[in-house]
Each structure stands twice: as C-alpha cells, then as structure tokens.
C-alpha cells in the first residue's frame, strides 16, 4: 500500500465534515471503500456519493462514490479505537491532500516492495539506503517491535497464572487436609486389619491421580466452553474481529501437566500424617 502523509488519518479526522449526497444521482465521482464502522456510524450505503475533505474545516471537499465496505484488519494495537476509515486510490489521495508545496504531488509515505527472493531482503535494504541517501528502508516482515507489547502481556498473564496456581494449591491442600481428616478412622481400621502402609499409599495416590485428572479435564472443558463467550463479549465490547482467548491443544496440555502433579502432591502431602501414625491412634476420636 502506498499512501500520502497521514492521508487516512486526516480523512478520518475530516469525517465529521462528511456529508451524504443523493445516492441516485449519476456521478463521475471516483470510487472509495468505506470501513464497516464508518458506514454504520454515518448510516451510509454502498452507492452513496459522499464529500471528503482533508481539511478539518471541511474546506475544498471532493465527491466520491462508495463502491463497497470493508472490515479493517484487526489490529491489537488499536484496540478500543473506532475504525472510521476510507480507502482511496493513490491519485485521489494525492489530489485531495496536496497543498501549495509542488513536492506534495510527488510524495508518498512509503513504497512497499515485494522481492523475488526473500533471502535478499537484508542486502536490498542496505543497497537502497546507500543508493538513495535519506531513504529509510526496513524489512516489512520484522515484527519484533510490533510484537513487543504482546510479549510483555504474555509475561504478565504468566505471572498472574503463577499466583493463581499458588492460591489454588493452598486451597487444594486445605481441602484435602479436611477430606483426609474425615478418613482418619477408616485408614486406622485398614491399618488394624493388616493393610500395609505402601498399600494404603498406593490407594491414596491412585485416588489422587483420578481426582486430579478429572479436575484438570473439567477445567479444560470449562475453558473451552467459556472461550466462545469471552471472545464474543470482547469482540462486541471493542467492535473488532480479534480473537482474545484461544485454547490450543498446547495450552490444554500445559494446564493438565501443571494441574495433575499439583493435585497428586496435595493429596499425598495431606495424607502423610495418616500414613505415619499408628493404626490404633488413628481410630481414636
């Protein structure tokens, strides 16, 4: 895409001056595409002829015909921003925004270049910057800077997850301690009738594994069920097609991998006092 300086932004700012003209009148007005949000907010229709100006006062407007609407590419960096945008052909943008400076008609913000061989990107960037002094060339595919905020957010979410897991573990341990307490007499009886500690331990661990796996799977199913609802809510809230929650098999597996050992460990830790005690003492109330 090649665009004039701040053309889209200026046109968006000038949208307040946008006025609908009779849609039925035949017009040689050039075509534009209008974002869905702008179309809805101004109650426009495909085929309408509208006036656009790059001046905030609405001066020197030009007529354009709405040839279609488009959904702006979801951009997490513009979350919360209302995407009031129009797309014009380059010559139209140039003529709409050109001022007294003769260079205006010859200037563009950027030139996108597709290379026949991607491997030559770095060398091409170097050659361009040397050959045309004052030109800044950079690889378009370099998304590191763009992704930086999301890397930070990922770290933040991980930190929150760690705190949540710690709180859950304490909760689980307290719960298990109480459940084991209820079984004190049962374990005492088993010990008195001849069950060895290892046998009871096996039983406790097996039970722990079953409970932990069931709990972890229930958690995964619950998150999958909630996924759609959360996405729909935030997509509605921010009027965007962005996906906010995406439960991948990898995420589910990681959750199960953390939850199951934690659950088993909690059950084992809480049962430890029972396994160590003598049978007769366990049966006392």
Partner 1 sequence: MRALIFAVRSLVRQPGRTALGIIGIAAVGALLFDMLLLSRGLVVSFRDLLDSVGFDVRVTATDSPLPGGIRLTDATGAAAQIARLPGVAEAVPMRTATGEVWQTGRPVIGLTLTGMDPGARRPWTLITGADLGPSLAPPELVVNQSLMDEVGGAIGSEVTLRTGCDSSRAALAPRTFRIVGIAQFPFDDEAQHTAVMTRTALREACGDDKDEADMLMVASSGGAGAAVAAIRAARPDLVPVTNEQIVARMQTQGFTYFRQISAVLSTITLLFGFLLITVLLTVSVNQRLAEIAALRALGFSRGRAAADVLLQGAMLVGAGGILALPLGFALSLWLDQILKAMPGIPASMHFFVFEPRALVLHAALLVTTALLASAYPMWLVARLPIATTLRNEVVG
What string marks each residue from 17 to 56 as x (binds partner 1 by CB under 8 A) or -?
---------------------------------------x
Cβ neighbours, 10 Å, residue 32: 19
Segment near partner 1 (CB under 8 A); pick from 23-31, 85-93, 173-181, 206-214: 173-181
Among 40, 75, 138, 181, binds partner 1 (CB under 8 A): 181
Q: Which residues contact 67 (CB under 8 A, 6 or more apart)?
A: 31, 32, 33, 46
Residue 107 is a binding residue for partner 1 (CB under 8 A):
yes
Interface with partner 1 (CB under 8 A), residue from 1, 59, 113, 178: 178
Instruction: Tell me the window of 17-25, 45-53, 118-126, 168-176 that interacts with partner 1 (CB under 8 A).
Output: 168-176
Q: Mind giving me the DSSP string for 232-268?
A: HHHHHHHT---------HHHHHHHHHHHHHHHHHHHH
Which tokens sit at 178? 């109480």
Question: Residue-wise over 39-78: b if at least 16 C-beta within 10 A, else e?
Answer: beebebeeebbbbbbbeeeeeebeebbbeebeebeeeeee
Residue with tokens 């997509």: 235
C-beta of 56 vs 130, nearer to partner 1: 56
- Evaluated on CA atoms 44, 45, 51, 54, the torsion sign reads positive
Q: Which of 41, 130, 164, 214 binds partner 1 (CB under 8 A)?
A: 164
For residue 63, the 8-state DSSP code is: E
Cα–Cα distance measured from residue 42 to residue 20, given in angstroms and rounded to the nearest whole number: 9
Identify the residue among 57, 112, 198, 248 touching partner 1 (CB under 8 A): 57
If the CB atoms of residues 68 and 229 are measured against partner 1, the closer one turns out to be 229
Question: Is there a contact between 188 and 283 (Cβ–Cβ < 8 Å)?
Answer: yes
Closer CB to partner 1, residue 73 or residue 285? 285
Paired strand residues for 21:
49
Q: Which of 255, 269, 272, 251 is nearest to 165 (CA)?
A: 255
Listed ranges 26-34, 84-92, 127-135, 193-201: which one lies at the site for partner 1 (CB under 8 A): 127-135
Q: Does 191 bind partner 1 (CB under 8 A)?
A: no
CA atoms of 207 and 199, how far apart (whole Å): 12
C-alpha–C-alpha distance, residues 11 and 126, integer Å: 34
Near partner 1 by CB under 8 A, which window of 22-30, 36-44, 178-186, 253-261?
Answer: 178-186
Examine residue 160 and tell whether it contacts partner 1 (CB under 8 A): yes
Read off the tokens for 173.
């341990």
102 is a contact residue toward partner 1 (CB under 8 A): no
Q: Choose the binding region for partner 1 from 41-49, 112-120, 144-152, 214-222 (rule: CB under 8 A).
A: 144-152
**Interface with partner 1 in residues 246-285 (CB under 8 A):** none
Find the shortest distance in angstroms from Cβ 63 to partner 1.
22
Positions touching partner 1 (CB under 8 A) are: 4-6, 9-10, 13, 56-57, 79-81, 103-104, 107-109, 133-135, 145, 148-149, 152-153, 155-156, 159-160, 163-164, 166-168, 170-171, 173-175, 177-179, 181-182, 234, 237-238
């Amino acid at each position: 895409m090649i665009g004039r300086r701040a053309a889209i932004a200026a046109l968006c700012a000038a949208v307040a001056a946008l006025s609908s003209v009779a849609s039925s009148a035949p017009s040689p007005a050039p075509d534009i595409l209008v974002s869905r949000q702008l179309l809805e907010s101004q109650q426009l229709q495909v085929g309408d002829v509208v006036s656009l100006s790059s001046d905030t006062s609405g001066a020197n407007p030009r007529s354009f015909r709405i040839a279609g609407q488009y959904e702006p590419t979801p951009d997490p960096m513009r979350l919360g921003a209302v995407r009031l945008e129009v797309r014009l052909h380059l010559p139209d943008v140039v003529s709409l925004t050109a001022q007294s400076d003769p260079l205006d008609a010859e200037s563009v913000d950027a030139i996108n270049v597709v290379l026949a061989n991607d491997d030559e990107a770095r060398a091409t960037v170097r050659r361009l910057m040397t050959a045309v002094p004052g030109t800044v060339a950079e690889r378009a595919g370099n998304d590191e800077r763009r992704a930086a905020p999301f890397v930070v957010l990922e770290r933040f979410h991980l930190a929150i997850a760690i705190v949540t897991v710690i709180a859950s573990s304490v909760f689980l341990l307290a719960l298990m301690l109480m459940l084991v307490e209820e079984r004190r007499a049962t374990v005492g009886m088993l010990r008195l009738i001849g069950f060895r500690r290892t046998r009871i331990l096996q039983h406790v661990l097996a039970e722990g594994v079953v409970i932990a796996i069931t709990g972890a799977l229930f958690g995964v199913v619950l998150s999958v069920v909630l996924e759609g609802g959360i996405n729909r809510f935030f997509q509605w809230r921010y009027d965007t097609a962005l996906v906010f929650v995406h439960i991948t098999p990898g995420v589910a597996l990681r959750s199960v991998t953390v939850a199951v050992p934690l659950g088993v460990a909690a059950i084992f830790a809480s049962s430890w006092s029972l396994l160590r005690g003598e049978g007769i003492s366990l049966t006392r109330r």
